[in-house]
Homo-oligomer: A and B are copies of this chain.
Amino acid sequence: MNEWDNMTIAGFQRQLAAGNASSLDWWAACRERIDACESSIQAWEYLALEPTVAMPAKDGPLPALFGVPVAIKDIIDTQRMPTTWGTRGYHCVAASDMDAAIVTQLARLGALPMGKTVSTEYAYFQPSKTRNPHDTRLTPGGSSSGSAAAVASGMVPVALGTQTVGSIIRPASYCGVVGFKPTHGTISTSGVKALAPSMDTVGWFSRSVEDSCILFSLLTGAAPVRRLGSLNGIRIAVCPLPSTPPLSPDVKTAIDEAAMRLTAQGASVTPLRLGPVFDELVTHQQVILAYEAAHALASERIRFGESMSRPLQALLEDGRRLSLERYWQSRQAAEHARHEISAHFTERVDAILAPSATGAAPEGLDSTGDPLYSRAWTLLGGPCLNLPMHRTSEGLPVGIQLVADRFKDAHLLAIAGVLMT
């Protein structure tokens, strides 16, 4: 631990303003940490050789993320760094024609791209090399494996990720960091490799809810997230989706602890049981994923099909066999569920408390773990937040997930801000 491990974006801005830090200090501290632990964690696919500093306007205020190091998931195009899409070399471009839109936005805000963080293959299931910083025998989760591990090990304060199934919430839970998936469609996916566009969502990992709030407002043009004094009047519903099987003991404890803290801060916490159609969302999510992936990755399959992992090949084969009618049936089921859950939220729920994952990070690097508890929420499209609150008796993080209705991202972040203080 050093002074940089608890540094926040706002804290760094204050240091800069007071003349106690210079623009490259945070970058240098991160590089030092990377030098110390990258060989064991292997979070990076590529490291930028030197910081690219955006020159601030003369006499103007510093841009809001000036000097903040950020990691870019390796399925996101970068003009000055290679992209491999987690393919371990069979698909690699030395430089993209354009930076992804979100990379340009971060640069305009003064952030410093530190490098490209490891992704599973095309952001689907096949793991790469990254290890869990809490125990290198464990998976960090996926697909945003490197981004979660880099933030968890202090190599960078902020990292971009994407979620189509559970690729932000699960690794955030396994690695013990804040992970935020905004409402679908909030952050531009221009220059981000598509897997299943109706669910692909750009989000990020951070060390604090506070930093996540700042990023949300800066990257979207939303008003600053207001700070709540307490959770008085906030209605929380506990609702794992799918509703079966029963939660594992570690996850149940994590949820119970979170419920207690929420209650202590003034919120009402009640169970919510959604109808059986909500359990079917897991299947619909799989159908939509397969159909859209088979179409979105049609060119990659033709060129690199033989190099692809078996799970990815199987997904694309499954998708090719699905008719449009079957796909649309699942899309319509998802829409009905979205409509129904919006009514729940509007009438009686501010946020839902749910598991982030089926337990702590499993052992081994052959799998990135089970995304079961993210499938339905990702399909429903609302904002999802992993909060690192609980540790198992072995000291491993088990996160809890807070979910809100679509377009209620700021309210969700505000609630989490109170919970985590």
Contacts from A to B (Cβ < 8 Å): 93, 96-101, 103-105, 108, 183, 185-191, 194, 197-198, 220-223, 291-292, 295-300, 302-303, 320, 322-325, 327-328, 331-332, 339, 407
Does the CB pair B298–A105 fall under 8 Å? yes
- A221–B295 alpha-carbon span in the complex (Å): 10
Does the CB pair A302–B339 fall under 8 Å? no
Q: Nearest Cβ distance between residue A361 and chain B, in whole angstroms?
A: 32
- A57–B295 alpha-carbon span in the complex (Å): 22
Does the CB pair A407–B222 fall under 8 Å? no
The chain B residue sitting closest to A320, CB to CB, is B221
The chain B residue sitting closest to A186, CB to CB, is B324
Does the CB pair A325–B223 fall under 8 Å? yes
With A223-B323, A325-B223 as contacts: A302 and B108 at CB distance below 8 Å: yes
The chain B residue sitting closest to A187, CB to CB, is B295
With A190-B296, A194-B190, A297-B190 as contacts: A324 and B220 at CB distance below 8 Å: yes
Q: Nearest Cβ distance between residue A338 and chain B, in whole angstroms?
A: 9
- A331–B183 alpha-carbon span in the complex (Å): 12
With A100-B299, A221-B323 as contacts: A197 and B189 at CB distance below 8 Å: yes
Report B-chain residues with C-beta under 8 Å of the C-beta of A187. Answer: 295
Q: Which of B185, B298, B325, B327 contacts A198 (CB 8 A)?
A: B185
Does the CB pair A97–B103 fall under 8 Å? no
Lowest 10 A-B CB distances belong to which pairs?
A: A222-B324, A188-B295, A220-B324, A104-B299, A101-B298, A190-B296, A98-B299, A104-B298, A328-B407, A99-B299
- A194–B77 alpha-carbon span in the complex (Å): 14
With A93-B97, A328-B407 as contacts: A197 and B185 at CB distance below 8 Å: yes
Q: Which of B191, B194, B221 contacts A299 (CB 8 A)?
A: B191
Report B-chain residues with C-beta under 8 Å of the C-beta of A96. Answer: 97
Report B-chain residues with C-beta under 8 Å of the C-beta of A97. Answer: 93, 96-97
> What 16 new A-B contacts, CB under 8 Å, besides A103-B299, A188-B298, A221-B291?
A98-B303, A101-B295, A101-B296, A101-B298, A105-B295, A108-B302, A185-B331, A188-B194, A189-B197, A190-B297, A190-B299, A197-B197, A221-B323, A222-B323, A223-B325, A331-B407
With A323-B221, A324-B221, A331-B407 as contacts: A101 and B188 at CB distance below 8 Å: no
Q: Nearest Cβ distance between residue A190 and chain B, in whole angstroms?
A: 4
Report B-chain residues with C-beta under 8 Å of the C-beta of A189. Answer: 194, 197
- A72–B156 alpha-carbon span in the complex (Å): 43
Return 14 A-B CB contacts under 8 Å, by A number.
Answer: A98-B299, A101-B297, A101-B298, A105-B298, A185-B331, A186-B324, A188-B298, A189-B194, A190-B197, A191-B299, A220-B324, A221-B291, A221-B320, A221-B322
Q: Nearest Cβ distance between residue A302 and chain B, in whole angstroms?
A: 5
Report B-chain residues with C-beta under 8 Å of the C-beta of A323. Answer: 221-223
Does the CB pair B296–A188 fall under 8 Å? yes
The chain B residue sitting closest to A328, CB to CB, is B407
- A188–B187 alpha-carbon span in the complex (Å): 19
Report B-chain residues with C-beta under 8 Å of the C-beta of A185. Answer: 197-198, 331
Q: Nearest Cβ distance between residue A402 and chain B, in whole angstroms?
A: 19
Does the CB pair A407–B332 fall under 8 Å? yes
- A223–B325 alpha-carbon span in the complex (Å): 8
- A331–B342 alpha-carbon span in the complex (Å): 15
- A124–B274 alpha-carbon span in the complex (Å): 44
Report B-chain residues with C-beta under 8 Å of the C-beta of A197. Answer: 185, 188-190, 197
Most chain B CB inside 10 Å of its own CB: which residue of A188, A296, A327: A188
With A221-B324, A407-B331 as contacts: A299 and B101 at CB distance below 8 Å: yes
The chain B residue sitting closest to A222, CB to CB, is B324
The chain B residue sitting closest to A302, CB to CB, is B104
Q: Nearest Cβ distance between residue A70 and chain B, in whole angstroms?
A: 16
- A93–B324 alpha-carbon span in the complex (Å): 33
The chain B residue sitting closest to A191, CB to CB, is B299
Report B-chain residues with C-beta under 8 Å of the C-beta of A183. Answer: 328
Most chain B CB inside 10 Å of its own CB: which residue of A105, A295, A320: A295
